[in-house]
Structure 1
């Protein structure tokens, strides 16, 4: 069959759906049918799924002219999705094509939710088209005879590649595809990505550095300009001293009319606890929404999540309060309106969420921005600029993740075994391990066979045997079973299931929150007030409670930080208002409505201090009954501020012995002490220098302690620590103590251990963002340092002070009263 005839089949199918084929879809069809690899860059809701399902099916038709009467069983294509929640949607899209074109292709799903019965069926006969996750792909590589399963595979599609890039799951994909390239000669590798800043690098990471796949590849960009309209919800009364902590609830009454006039509204929150609070508060104040509103986040049980997704599709729900669990690809055509509660902290995340509205080609996406405090309106103004300038973040890929490599090699050893000479070139062809040395490779092989230098005496670390002929193989069934149970790179706190005392599964919750509660305590979860009865094995047993006051679960990773692009945009917006006080009102016409609405805050800030311009770095000092405050404003995001605050406190302590407490938010950080800092001495001694940055950071932050925590994840991923069997998972404190023991052994006896060294590399590069910190310090070094001695807290400093107060274990009522009193005093002045 010619390409023209095949295209005719695809185009006719599109016509039957009353759809138009976009040029980027045809480009993808053509490149795929020519045997090319590629990366497809297209906005959410533009039809990118069919850009690749169609050519997969057309390629099958081309190679099997009698496809309507004969069916050759076996795996032909794999579709990788980072979220299990998306698999049903992708399956429906595939089935629509395969059935309408009268092929006999079968479509299956294999994720953590797949039943044992279904897995057994797949073991006997694989579906033709398989939708799976990065972890489940690795599990398939851990099964005997996997090469026969994959040998006729013509395609592997990695969906939402921008989400996987820059994570260890992305590294898993790199390793998995490096193996499949060898055993499936017809394999084409394709990624689908929303816009990211480093698209060319994303393609290189996907296909492998200097690989044949990269040479025979295309980068296809959909030339579809997604129209995005950002509307800020500006409070009628704007606080002069903005403070964080009330989660935007004070604007709830302005949200309800927006929900009422839309068919379906998604309210995006940044954390699961914020999601729970908003859901509760809307129902408390507007009980008529009961039955018309639902909640969606990753800890709610699968059945409820699927029900919510289906209810959005058939428009039976008016509103859904959700987290990033609904960020990605699920195709909700009817969603009219998106409300973003609080700053999304990143441009890509914001655009992804905006794309859920008007989720069809050519439709305008409308997204409302609701600030949780006044200064967040500057973020809203910055996002408007990002939309206009099409500014998006880079995703930084991992290099030399030896823990993932150890896991992968053990996976291959569990199945059919491997010969190092065959596997080494495959691994070296990946982006992640391109710079790995032969010494490091030998170390990894030693580690899986004898357990590294300091663990040689312990048999449990000798997992892989070297058989005659040099085959590396796991022969111990117990080791193989434990390894299969632990495949994956998502390491979080132990997860406990929440169940009613009389039966009924509600969802899952992280151990670190529940461990703080005692029986009788009431907490809010999945929209219900629940009383803790007891914790039994890995179950949290609860009963319903009618108490009004309750604790809201917090989840790890709840605090997002500004990305570097977002920080840059934020600074540019602030520089626009850094005018002399009397010129501010004249310049109003050039400012966005968000910035204009904050003019009284900026005017007060100018009066009491300054709004820093592009060449200025602001430091404010003042005294209150709490002590001496020094506030610094880099506008670089909370992670950088945490590191920079600790670094500065350490460097000041070298000049004079002062102890500080540190507070920070996305705009700046505070050093609070009981004695005054000699700020002139700080400025004169050039404490913002980049010299000796790495050494000073290590000393200031107790980097060893941070690396120790990071090492726990590395120990789990590399299989040094076993997390337990499904019905008997180890408590996180036991995991921590096991990994700490190993950390101490390596620190004292084997400091060159690659996994030990990796814990420090990851701490500095990924957690402390040392690269960003270096750039921030280089910028500050060039700026004029403006030190303002203030009488009282300024509008800019107020959110930072209240951020600290909210972490001092005050109840929310006490905190609110205290902040109101502070505000009253300041406003009187």
Structure 2
């Protein structure tokens, strides 16, 4: 077998001396490109020159990059010219290493015309070893990196010296980092850099974010929120003692519409409608030069790619596929084709949501619900990626109720109601990792590092007890592991915490970061070419000869060897459907609220736009057989069938919250009287089925759905210990208890899970006060049920009215929940056939439209 040949080794070209005749003033540089600086850009430059930090919030494609970048450039232009490129002055942190090359090109463009003898470089996991070796001697003047690579750079003893001349850090796409552990990792790195450079200025860039005050606080450190805790008003800026929010006021029209099906089924169910609209999707693609077709899952992405090529074989070579499981070289080829405008359409997932400027893109289509206002606006911004141009996104519904979501998303976007990201509170696994890294970087004293860590907004309320516990954990392994030398990663000598063990140092640097490795294995042709990765659980079920579609090709499985799925091209169609792990996105809080507002309008007979008019027949049947909930109402339906006694409840709060409500309701009912329930949930509601009668009125339901004792009852309603044990795998990996080893070392996900599970059991038995156990439990509540949002939903239910109806048969709201339950049932009929028969019977009962 032959592998891919290595690229020839070439030395980087020597920079050509700057010709003074080529140097132009900054205004002239803009003018030559037909640009004129916007007021928000000039405001940002002035704020930077005044020594301020802040957050620039503006629409995609309106010039945020140069708003943050030209502050340091204008400062440098006013200084004596440098003979040689100075060490790093600007640090550019990007959430995706795939964006680094494009970002570096954009940052390099104005340097020579402005007469700046600066160099630009990247430092990510993809940076070649030769470039990393050069950077060990001197970092480039402008360094583009990721949170993980930055944290790694800060583990070396010469980090303070390397970053001594740093003046500005820019966190690009801050909304993607804020509210995640990667954002916390960035906060800790910024706290360390501010210790090195007390006058450091930090700027963040964001296009779609609701809670800007919280985002600013996390970005600039400390507690910079205004005294009254206000958010900046829409279209205005906010200035505080430590930072400011600058809003871009550039008109950026956004059009949100939908492809309307010729006929809307009055009993819709999830997923069946999308591909039936393929002719309309093809027509939309043909309207423009280049289109992006976004899907919400990788499986859906592969399916739509095949459907487009089957319908238009002549488009071969003009239609491409782009998702996170494909090989990096394949994705690079697609991105180059987008920039050059040689591709007619790219079917993609969130991998093309961010940052990269694809000017030729004229149409954006979204298959299925975007599930959030911010996500839809972000994707819309991929088209018309220039100031003043209109961005347009066309939604392709996969079931009728998604038309309501499109209408609701457009209304929320018009009113500026965008989802916020909520900060994580003191994740101790990330702090433990940071402590080991700080010990590697020349050592630290406990009180000095504690003071530094508390300047990170996430850890501003870190208690002395928690800090002491973290130090004990990295020095002894905590109470349960104190007898095992392998977990004494940090040693204290004369009050200085350091890492004298070279093996510990190497192992830590290999695993820096908070992106826990997915259970994936490589897919490769027998002749050696890489295609990408698939889930290990899927690969384990394959048998020789199985055929599946991946990377736009039908492949035949040959063998699984050395953590690699070896394949050849199949000669017949696929017989196995490729599935990836990962949960479906839930409906966001802002979009859920807007959907409820649209239903309130429908309850009052208002159908104001094309989407609501299209779904009107569905809602009219719902109103005739039961009710469409008005503002302040929550609908409950009771129904008896041969399957048992059904209770349907419709909070319209998103799938995760609805799952929490269902579990809570079932637990509290069973506590009154032992009984067994079957549950089903979707984004709109939940179903409880029991063999015993469920004769619950509005008062009884209100009593059962009280927010009192919420946390205890939610945990009791689940196998909370098992869920926490699963979550502990990530916590253990980030904290350094479990190490995945070297790349391609062959440690499977099952082995890592077994290791973390063993630690979990040991801690529960011998160290029950271990704070990592508490963190895993808290993360389960946040991720499994969005417990903060769940509590708000129960408060809303308590303050409103529950309306109970007894429809004669399943309503349009109830029908998708019945289908959810049918998916799990075993039958000789296909799901589509069974659902089709049931829907046809209900259509006959509903009568003519």
Q: TM (normalized to structure 2)?
A: 0.93
Equivalent of 1:495 in 520, 543, 550: 520
Alignment of 1:760-771 (within 5 A): 760-771=777-788
Q: For residue 7 of structure 2, what is the aligned residue in structure 1?
A: none
Alignment of 1:180-191 (within 5 A): 180-191=193-204
Alignment of 1:257-656 (within 5 A): 257-467=283-493, 469-579=494-604, 584=605, 587-588=606-607, 591-656=608-673
2-structure distance, mates of 1:553, 1:172: 34
Q: 1:51 aligned to 2:53?
A: no
Query: 1:728 aligns to what SS in structure 2?
Result: coil
Q: 1:790 aligned to 2:815?
A: no
Contact 1:37-1:214 within 8 A present in 2 as well: no
Q: Per-residue deviation at 1:564?
A: 0.8
Equivalent of 1:162 in 160, 168, 175: 175
Query: 2:703 aligns to what SS in structure 1?
Result: coil
Q: 1:90 aligned to 2:103?
A: yes
2-structure distance, mates of 1:685, 1:787: 11
Q: Per-residue deviation at 1:473?
A: 0.9
TM-aligned CA distance change 1:604 to 1:492, over 3 Å: farther
Q: TM (normalized to structure 1)?
A: 0.95
Query: 1:534 aligns to what SS in structure 2?
Result: strand
Q: For residue 252 of structure 2, what is the aligned residue in structure 1?
A: 226
TM-aligned CA distance change 1:545 to 1:682, over 3 Å: farther
Contact 1:617-1:784 within 8 A present in 2 as well: yes
Q: For residue 4 of structure 1, what is the aligned residue in structure 2?
A: none
Contact 1:523-1:530 within 8 A present in 2 as well: yes
2-structure distance, mates of 1:562, 1:809: 29
Equivalent of 1:669 in 686, 691, 695: 686
2-structure distance, mates of 1:492, 1:550: 29
Q: For residue 722 of structure 1, what is the aligned residue in structure 2?
A: 739
TM-aligned CA distance change 1:90 to 1:239, over 3 Å: same
Contact 2:702-2:797 within 8 A present in 1 as well: no
Q: 1:103 aligned to 2:113?
A: no
1-structure distance, mates of 2:598, 2:724: 36
TM-aligned CA distance change 1:150 to 1:343, over 3 Å: same
Contact 1:499-1:539 within 8 A present in 2 as well: yes
Equivalent of 2:213 in 186, 191, 200: 200
Contact 2:156-2:441 within 8 A present in 1 as well: yes
Quick check: 517-526 or 640-649, which moved more? 517-526
Q: Per-residue deviation at 1:8?
A: 8.5
Q: For residue 8 of structure 2, what is the aligned residue in structure 1?
A: none
Quick check: 99-108 or 73-82, which moved more? 99-108
Q: For residue 133 of structure 2, what is the aligned residue in structure 1?
A: 120
2-structure distance, mates of 1:87, 1:389: 33
Quick check: 751-760 or 674-683, which moved more? 674-683
Query: 2:271 aligns to what SS in structure 1?
Result: coil
Q: Deviations over 1:323-348 (max 9, x none)?
A: 11111111111111111111111111
Equivalent pairs, count? 810
Q: For residue 3 of structure 1, what is the aligned residue in structure 2?
A: none
TM-aligned CA distance change 1:552 to 1:95, over 3 Å: farther
Query: 1:336 aligns to what SS in structure 2?
Result: strand
Q: For residue 164 of structure 2, what is the aligned residue in structure 1?
A: 151
Contact 1:228-1:387 within 8 A present in 2 as well: no
Q: Per-residue deviation at 1:801?
A: 1.6
Contact 1:277-1:552 within 8 A present in 2 as well: no
* Aligned CA-pair RMSD: 1.9
2-structure distance, mates of 1:568, 1:8: 52
Q: Deviations over 1:189-247 (max 9, x none)?
A: 11111132211121111111247997343321111232111111110011111011336
Contact 1:38-1:220 within 8 A present in 2 as well: yes
Equivalent of 1:751 in 760, 768, 777: 768
Query: 1:144 aligns to what SS in structure 2?
Result: coil
2-structure distance, mates of 1:627, 1:550: 36
Q: 1:660 aligned to 2:673?
A: no
2-structure distance, mates of 1:552, 1:11: 56
Query: 2:78 aligns to what SS in structure 1?
Result: helix
Q: Per-residue deviation at 1:764?
A: 1.5
1-structure distance, mates of 2:155, 2:809: 63
Q: Deviations over 1:156-189 (max 9, x none)?
A: 1100111100000000111001010111244211
Quick check: 742-751 or 107-116, which moved more? 742-751
Q: For residue 13 of structure 1, what is the aligned residue in structure 2?
A: 29
Q: Deviations over 1:83-140 (max 9, x none)?
A: 1111111111111111222322111111111112221121123211110000000110
Q: 1:66 aligned to 2:81?
A: yes
TM-aligned CA distance change 1:546 to 1:683, over 3 Å: farther
1-structure distance, mates of 2:220, 2:138: 29
Structure 1 residue runs without a partner (length 5+): 1-6
Q: Per-residue deviation at 1:685?
A: 7.4
Q: Per-residue deviation at 1:557?
A: 3.0
Equivalent of 1:708 in 714, 719, 725: 725
Equivalent of 1:821 in 827, 837, 844: 837
Query: 1:26 aligns to what SS in structure 2?
Result: helix
TM-aligned CA distance change 1:810 to 1:23, over 3 Å: farther
Q: For residue 691 of structure 1, what is the aligned residue in structure 2?
A: 708
TM-aligned CA distance change 1:210 to 1:655, over 3 Å: closer
Q: Per-residue deviation at 1:808?
A: 4.3
Q: Deviations over 1:342-370 (max 9, x none)?
A: 11111111111111111110111111111
Query: 2:112 aligns to what SS in structure 1?
Result: helix
Q: Deviations over 1:614-644 (max 9, x none)?
A: 2322112223343332211000000001111
TM-aligned CA distance change 1:558 to 1:699, over 3 Å: closer
